[in-house]
Structure 1
Amino acid sequence: MKDTTATLTGSEATFPAAEYDRRLDRLRARIREGGAEALLLTGPENIYWATGRQTAGYFAFQALVVPATGAPVLLVRQLEETSARAGTWLDDIRTWQDGQDPAAVLGKLIASLKLGRIAMERTGWFVSPALSDAMIAALGDVTLMDGSGWAEAARMVKSPAELAAMRLAGSYADAGMAAALEACRAGASENDIAAAMTSAAIAAGSEAMAMEPLVSSGPRSGIPHATWRRRTLEDGDGVFLELAASHDRYHAALMRAAWIGQPPEAARHMMDTALRGLDAALGAIRPGAPCAAPHEAAQAVIDDAGHTAAFRKRAGYSMGVAFAPDWGEGGILSLFTGVETPLQPGMVFHLPITLRDYGRYTVGVSETVIVTETGAEPLSRLPRALSIC
Structure 2
Amino acid sequence: MTTTSSAVPTIGLPFPRTEYERRQQRVFEAMERANLDALLVTAHGHLQYLGGYNGRGAYFMPFPLILVPGREPTFVVREYELGSVRLESCVEEIVTYREQFDFAPVCAAAVRRFGLRGRRIGLELGCWDLAPADVSALQAQLPDMKFADATRLVATVAAVKTEMELEAMRFAMEMTDMAVRTFQHSLRDGITEAEVAANIDREVEKAGGVLRASSTTLLFGERTKLSHGSPKQHPIRNNEPAFMELAGIKHGYACGLVRSAVLGRHAETEFLHDLSVEVLEAVIAAIKPGATAGEVDAAGREVLKRHGHPEFLNHRVGYQTGINWGERGNISLEPGALDILEPNMTLHMPIILRGESGYLIGTSEHVMVTERGAEILSRTPHTLHRAS
Give the conservation status (yes or no) of the 8 Å contact 2:201–2:211: no
Give the conservation status (yes or no) of the 8 Å contact 1:41–1:65: yes
Give the conservation status (yes or no) of the 8 Å contact 1:237–1:259: yes
Which of 302, 308, 311 aligns to 1:300? It is: 302
Shift of 1:234: 1.6
**SS of 1:258's equivalent?**
strand
Give the conservation status (yes or no) of the 8 Å contact 2:365–2:382: no
**Equivalence for 2:272:** 270
Give the letter aligned to residue 215 of structure 1. Answer: L
**Equivalence for 2:222:** 219
Q: Are 2:242 and 1:244 equivalent residues in the alignment?
A: no
1:220-258 C-alpha deviation (Å, 9 max, x unpaired): 202222332322222222111101221111111101001
**Equivalence for 1:345:** 343
Quick one: distance in 2 between partners of 1:375 and 1:127? 36
Quick one: distance in 2 between partners of 1:169 and 1:366? 16
Q: Are 2:121 and 1:105 equivalent residues in the alignment?
A: no
| 4+ residue segments displaced more than 6 Å | none
Quick one: distance in 1 between partners of 2:211 and 2:64? 22
Quick one: distance in 1 between partners of 2:193 and 2:160? 37
1:157-196 map, 5 Å: 157-196=160-199
Counterparts in 2 of 1:295 and 1:146: CA distance versus 1, 3 Å: closer
Shift of 1:140: 4.1
Quick one: distance in 1 between partners of 2:369 and 2:30? 24
Q: For structure 1, list consecutive stretches of 5 or more residues without a partner in the other structure.
A: none
Quick one: distance in 2 between partners of 1:99 and 1:67? 25
Q: Are 2:316 and 1:314 equivalent residues in the alignment?
A: yes
Structure 1 vs Structure 2: percent identity of aligned residues?
A: 30
Quick one: distance in 2 between partners of 1:76 and 1:25? 22
Shift of 1:328: 4.0
Give the conservation status (yes or no) of the 8 Å contact 2:60–2:100: no
Give the conservation status (yes or no) of the 8 Å contact 1:221–1:359: no
**Equivalence for 1:21:** 21
Give the conservation status (yes or no) of the 8 Å contact 1:172–1:202: no
Quick one: distance in 2 between partners of 1:33 and 1:293? 25
Which of 282, 285, 292 aligns to 1:283? It is: 285
Give the conservation status (yes or no) of the 8 Å contact 2:52–2:89: yes
1:57-83 C-alpha deviation (Å, 9 max, x unpaired): 342331100012210001112232222
Shift of 1:197: 3.0
Shift of 1:339: 2.1
Aligned residues: 381
1:242-284 C-alpha deviation (Å, 9 max, x unpaired): 01221111111101001122122x3322222212222222122
**Equivalence for 2:49:** 49
Which of 259, 263, 269 aligns to 1:260? It is: 263
Shift of 1:320: 0.9
Quick one: distance in 1 between partners of 2:280 and 2:33? 39
1:102-154 C-alpha deviation (Å, 9 max, x unpaired): 22221222233332222222122112222332232233433323222221221
**Equivalence for 2:207:** 204
**Equivalence for 1:142:** 145
Give the conservation status (yes or no) of the 8 Å contact 1:176–1:199: no
**Equivalence for 2:381:** 383
Give the letter aligned to residue 353 of structure 1. Answer: I
Give the conservation status (yes or no) of the 8 Å contact 1:287–1:373: yes
Shift of 1:46: 1.3
Quick one: distance in 1 between partners of 2:211 and 2:200? 13
Quick one: distance in 2 between partners of 1:37 and 1:111? 12
Counterparts in 2 of 1:88 and 1:361: CA distance versus 1, 3 Å: same
Using the size of structure 2 for normalisation, the TM-score is 0.90
**SS of 1:351's equivalent?**
strand
